[in-house]
Amino acid sequence: MQRWRFSLYKHMDIDLIFKIAAIGIIVSILNQVLSRSGRDEQATMTTLAGLVVVLMMVAQEIADLFTMVKSLFGL
């Protein structure tokens, strides 16, 4: 059975969590500034854009995890 050989330290990259937290803080500040200045639509779009950027990063990580589990357990 073919087993998944993986570089664990690539996946144990804690920087990704810090990146997500930083994007979250920036997006929430932008959201506050835009909504206080009466630009609610732009605030929503900013939040949505931030969410999509982070979602793309997370999707890659989840795909890697699922591929690894599939290979390891022979699914």
Partner 1 sequence: MELLFKAFAGAIITVILVTVLSKQNKEMAVLAVTVACSMIAFAAMNYLEPVIQYFDRICAVSELDPLVIGALVKSVGIVLLAEITGHICSDAGNAALGKTTQLLATAAVLWLSLPLFGKLMVLIEQALVNT
Residues at the site binding partner 1, with contacts judged by CB under 8 A: 1, 3-4, 6, 8, 11-14, 16-18, 20-21, 23-25, 27-28, 31, 47, 50-51, 54-55, 57-58, 61-62, 64-66, 68-70, 72-75
Min dist. Cβ of residue 38 to partner 1 (A): 20
Is residue 19 within 8 A of residue 57, CB to CB? The reply is yes
Residue type, 15: D
For residue 26, give Cα distances in angstroms to 16, 33, 69: 15, 11, 34
Tokens of 70: 């599939």
Looking at the Cβ atoms of 28 and 37, the one nearer to partner 1 is 28
